[in-house]
Structure 1
Amino acid sequence: MDYKEIIKLMKEMNDSDLTKLKIEENNVVIEMEKQNNDVSVTKEKPSLEKTDVETKEVNLDDDDIEIVTAPIVGTFYSAPSPDKEDYVKVGSKVEKGDVLCIVEAMKIMNEIESEVSGEVVEILCANDDSVEYGQELFKIKTS
């Protein structure tokens, strides 16, 4: 079972009434469980000051902007670890294949790579934000 099939299963499970799923294939076991919509689960976090997301005003045509979206539901991390520098900042030059961030899902760290070369003009998430599938993460000026 490949990555895309697992993501498809996650989406289908999210849209269904299933709460638990276990699949065994070729010595690989995949188990998924979601909380009942009637139950509220909260994770307490220490109180943090609100930090603004860094932006840079640029006069652009929409044709010059590539939007990078979250391929999965998870937690957005701007750096490989808390003590490391962010992968990119507003104004950073990126090449196709450069890592922009990490989205953690089910304890798996998924590196999100740039599909284009260009300049990061807007970062739309803050570190440790929860992100949804398809949510916009970055705007990259391509020309």
Structure 2
Amino acid sequence: MLKIQEIRELIRLVNESNIVEFVYEHDGSKIKMKKAGAHVAIEPAAPQTIAKEAAPQQTTPVVQAEPQAAVVEKKEEPKQEPTPVQADNLHKITSPMVGTFYAAPSPDAEPYVKVGDKVKKDTVVCIVEAMKLFNEIEAEVEGEIVEVLVKNGQLVEYGQPLFLVKTE
């Protein structure tokens, strides 16, 4: 079964896309989302074996979400990204993929970079984990880290700014 954070992420992605209906089946559960009716249904999938058919079926209640709830969640995200005064020499390091942001190579290690650190084009600034693959993200510019825009363990989107770098 998907975690609530993953379900929220799916709702947000469907809400932002042109998709009208979305169905996801996994491990005996089914999630179905429709924009027009704004219903999110979670129900058991059809049993696949005879042994499972003999077992009593459990039903999961239908969860209905207001379309405004997904929009409210979307509006709350920019609050996590403070917008400093924009200067001509500030470069945004953005996420090249959807995934989970990690500031350090392991939970007990120091972050790759922090505010005030000098970086070069090939300096690794973070890891974005997508589908169990850990992708090192490089600065791509020379300069100084001015701001870290995301928190460790936060889900990030394609193109989402991760760091602000003052270029030299």
For the aligned pair, the TM-score class normalised by the smaller chain equals: 0.5 to 0.7
Superimposed CA distance per residue, residues 72-116 of structure 1 (whole angstroms, 9 cap, x where no aligned partner): 000000000011110000000111110000000000001110110
- Give the distance between the partners of 2:97 and 2:32, measured in 1 at CA: 20
**Counterpart residue identity of residue 134, structure 1:** G
1:128 has 2:142 as partner: no
- Give the distance between the partners of 2:41 and 2:155, measured in 1 at CA: 19
Superimposed CA distance per residue, residues 12-53 of structure 1 (whole angstroms, 9 cap, x where no aligned partner): xx8766869xxxxxxxxxxxxxx754467xxxxxxxxxxxx8
Match of 1:101 in 2: 126
In our comparison, the structure showing a higher alpha carbon Rg is 2
For the residue of structure 1 that corresponds to 2:92, the secondary structure is strand
C-alpha change, 1:82 and 1:142, in structure 2 (3 Å) is: same
- Give the distance between the partners of 2:118 and 2:150, measured in 1 at CA: 18
Structure 2 gap segments, 5+ residues each: 1-16, 26-30, 34-39, 43-79
Structure 1 gap segments, 5+ residues each: 1-13, 21-34, 41-52
Report the TM-score when normalising by structure 1.
0.61
Aligned residues: 101
C-alpha change, 1:39 and 1:113, in structure 2 (3 Å) is: farther
Report the TM-score when normalising by structure 2.
0.52
Match of 1:111 in 2: 136
- Give the distance between the partners of 1:110 and 1:15, measured in 2 at CA: 29
Q: Which has the higher contact order (CA 8 A, sep 6+)?
A: 1
Alpha-carbon RMSD = 2.9
C-alpha change, 1:61 and 1:72, in structure 2 (3 Å) is: closer
